[in-house]
Structure 1
Amino acid sequence: MGANTSSKPPVFDENEDVNFDHFEILRAIGKGSFGKVCIVQKNDTKKMYAMKYMNKQKCVERNEVRNVFKELQIMQGLEHPFLVNLWYSFQDEEDMFMVVDLLLGGDLRYHLQQNVRFQEDTVKLFICELAMALDYLQSQRIIHRDMKPDNILLDEHGHVHITDFNIAAVLPRETQITTMAGTKPYMAPEMFSSRREAGYSFAVDWWSLGVTAYELLRGRRPYHIRSSTSSKEIAHMFETAIVPYPSAWSQEMVSLLRKNFPYMSDVNWDAVLQKRLIPGFIPNKGRLNCDPTFELEEMILESKPLHKKKKRLAKKEKEMRKCDSSQMCLLQEHLESVQKEFIIFNREKVKRDFNKRQANLAFEQTKDPQEENGQNNNL
């Protein structure tokens, strides 16, 4: 009996929560300090996604749980053509999972490292697409705070998408943010000001976009700032440094990077939003546009990753039962708290429920009033 049914594709109830069983893991494409990113295929729809999974214990030990929860909460409320959108979030005893749009064109940092020099018209379209994404985020009261080539992914056609909302912030109305966050070479001057208590707002993302555009055009950033450069040095640099603009660049591009906008007056923004404008740089479709060493990760070599995961979880549970130290009990308490507070999300289900509500509403509005009156009289 088992042999007859094992070859059939699994049947999933559309109302059940999505979990690890619903995906086939294909290959790893990235690795962070406490998580990995891999390409997955959803078993029922055969759609491909990127799946980021973060080890709960490492998140607890590094006090990162709140950041993960905040990122999940922000991403669940966002959807835009130039963002990397969240589709599902779920968990098991070991990991937290985020399933997002799969973009195989690689990030802009990778292409810079491959010595790609982007032409001006390509960068202009990047700026337009990213500007639409930032404008949308601002309408949702979100400051990304980490705009840089590493966090901008290309799809297979060369359109850009913003990713990584790990340090994004929600800005309540009539307020400013004072906490310092971001990657120093891309952070705006107001974040280093001696009067930082005055705070900053959405403008910091637009500054980062300008630095990114300059780097894409020139291959290096406008200011020589490193992660080790002190805030005092950086503030002084902004006051004294003169940014060079190569003579080969058009005056319109230079004026745009200096925050003057006539260069964008001829843009067909509807065509940008609908991705009708063809990018000047198309990523290589013949290979993964990322570091090939990720393909050697042990996860890819496992023939049945789910089977091994279950075995590993069973072993871990046994070890937890054996150990009665106060430190282990505290860790277990934190892990149980993560389990309870984790937010499960399914964009497919959200869309399906929304469409049903809209259909019901439309049906109610198209009912013939006379027919309803006749029914009421009969009653």
Structure 2
Amino acid sequence: MLPGQPTPGPKKRPNFSLRGIQQHNPFESFSKVVDLSGKLNFEGKAVLHSQGVDFNAGRKYNIKMGDFDSRCEIGRGQFGVVSKVFHRPTKVIMALKEIRLQLDELQLNQILMELNVLHEASSPYIVDFYGAFFIESCVYYCMEYMECGSLDNMFHVGCPEDVLARIAYSMVSGLKFLKDKFNIIHRDVKPTNVLVNSSGEIKLCDFGVSGKLNASLAKTRVGCENYMAPERIKSGASDQGYTVQSDIWSLGISLVEMTTGKYPYPLNGRPTTSVFLIMQDIINGPAPSVDTENYSEECRDFISRCLEKDPNDRPSYAQLLEHPYLVRYQNTHVDMTGWAQNALRSSPSSS
């Protein structure tokens, strides 16, 4: 100590008491959802647990992890994986989709939306639902196994016009069912969300980002930007909203992709993967078109109507189902089974 400095008093200890301090536990906001007993409780709607899922309307699905023999992984995404599994009690091959739970309200809402759609949907154009359960930090959906995977797995065998018509019919019928039954818009229509089985049946999947329509409008920019309609991209900075016509645009882009085997943007063959430049092309550039040599005028007209830049100029689902292109192939034999099984045999991933 230097001369002239005051004698120091007793050293104060830091106060580590938590009393009076507001502590934030991230689980507090979700305590009504994530039950300490190991249940995921969507109050008044559904309860997921390790033995299955119970819906408020009384429907129950008793299914659990111990019932399965794992076969192989068939897909992987941002939040988890999809596996091919064998359900011993029923002797049924299923697709088991795992979602790693995060304490995020948007993700919880997406889980509930997908559960609601899957367990209430009774349509040949929607993938079948076998149940769901919750273990620790993961939600598991048990769904119909579609052997050929998604439409993007089919590019290597091409898509003849008659097959494309059946794909379009199934997609439109599935989207119309969602609108009529649940008053919702899919919002993520793209080839990876359309599944194919070995019989050539086409079914929609992935309803987590589907949204309720309020006075025929939806809001919020969720889904894959590459397949978004121009008005959806532009509405991201406003409250204008958008309608089911935006899913019709996404349908059109998906069909163009099926005819060429590649995503149609960016325009003019520019070598870029910039989402910003692609969205600029979607808003400001002409809509993609279909090859005139390999596809009929009826087919090209159907797709061009889906890709009208003004959503008010796009037809409704009912009008699309009455289009001459779809009507013609509904009354014509189309070998969907042969097309699907050829793709399955020749797939690079087949073993």
How far did residue 213 of structure 1 move?
0.7
Q: 1:86 aligns with which of 129, 143, 153?
A: 129
**Counterparts of residues 194-209 of structure 1 (less than 5 Å):** 196-209=238-251
> 1:235-246, aligned counterparts within 5 Å?
237-241=282-286, 243-246=288-291
Equivalent in 95, 108, 111 of residue 68 of structure 1? 111
**Distance in 2, Cα, partners of 1:286 & 1:237:** 33
**CA shift in 2, pair 1:286/1:198, >3 Å:** closer
- The answer for the alignment partner of 2:142 in structure 1 is 99
How many residue pairs are counted as aligned between the two chains?
Answer: 268
The whole-number CA distance in structure 2 between the counterparts of 1:254 and 1:284 is 26
Aligned residue among 178, 189, 194 for 1:147: 189
Map of 1:28 onto structure 2: 73
| SS across alignment from 1:220 | coil
Equivalence for 1:278:
335
Higher RCO (CA < 8 A, seq sep 6+): 1
Q: d(CA) in 2 for partners of 1:268 and 1:29?
A: 32
* Alignment of 1:119 onto 2:160: yes
Distance apart, 1:25 and its partner CA? 2.0
Aligned to 1:252: 298
Distance, in Å, in 2 between the alignment partners of 1:45 and 1:242 is 48
Pick one of 207, 210, 217 that aligns with 1:165: 207
Deviation at 1:76, TM superposition (A): 2.0
Assess, with a 3 A threshold, how the Cα gap between structure 1 residues 266 and 162 changes in structure 2: closer, same or farther.
same
Per the alignment, residue 11 of structure 2 pairs with none
Q: 1:105, CA displacement in angstroms?
A: 0.9
Output one character per residue of 1:324-345: Cα deviation in whole Å (capped at 9) or x when no partner.
Answer: xxxxxxxxxxxxxxxxxxxxxx
Aligned partner of residue 197 in structure 1, secondary structure: coil
* Distance in 2 of aligned mates of 1:124 and 1:87: 29
Q: Provide the identity percentage.
A: 24
Which residue in 2 is equivalent to 1:229? 275
Secondary structure at the counterpart of residue 239 of structure 2: helix
Which residue, out of 182, 185, 196, partners 2:226?
A: 185
In structure 1, the residue corresponding to 2:139 is in which secondary structure? strand
SS at match of 2:63: coil
Q: 2:300 is matched by which residue type in structure 1? A: V
Displacement, 1:209? Answer: 0.8
SS state of the match for residue 26, structure 1? strand
1:262 pairs with one of 324, 336, 339? 324
- How far 1:142 moved relative to its partner? 1.9
Deviates more, 1:218-227 or 1:181-190: 218-227
- 1:265 positional shift: 3.6
Range moving further from structure 2, 283-292 or 216-225:
283-292
Unaligned runs of 5+ residues in structure 2 are 1-59, 306-314, 316-322
Q: 1:137 aligns with which of 178, 193, 217?
A: 178
Distance in 1 (alpha carbons) for counterparts of 2:279 and 2:62: 48
Over the residues paired in the alignment, what is the CA RMSD in angstroms?
3.1
SS in structure 1 of the partner of residue 234 of structure 2: coil
Which amino acid is the alignment partner of residue 27 of structure 1? C
Q: Provide closer, same or farther for how the CA distance between residues 245 and 74 of structure 1 changes in structure 2, counting only shifts above 3 A.
A: closer
Unaligned runs of 5+ in 1: 1-14, 296-379
Q: Return the offset for 1:179.
A: 1.0
Counterpart of 2:85, as a letter, is V
Give the Å deviation of 1:187.
0.8
TM-score by length of 1: 0.63
- Asked if 1 retains the 8 angstrom alpha-carbon contact of 2:61 and 2:132, the reply is no
1:119-171 Cα shifts (integer Å, max 9, x gaps): 11111111111111111111121211111111111101222111111211122
Q: CA deviation at 1:243?
A: 3.5
User: How far, CA to CA, are the matches of 1:142 and 1:277 in structure 2?
Assistant: 31
Q: Which amino acid aligns with 1:119?
A: P
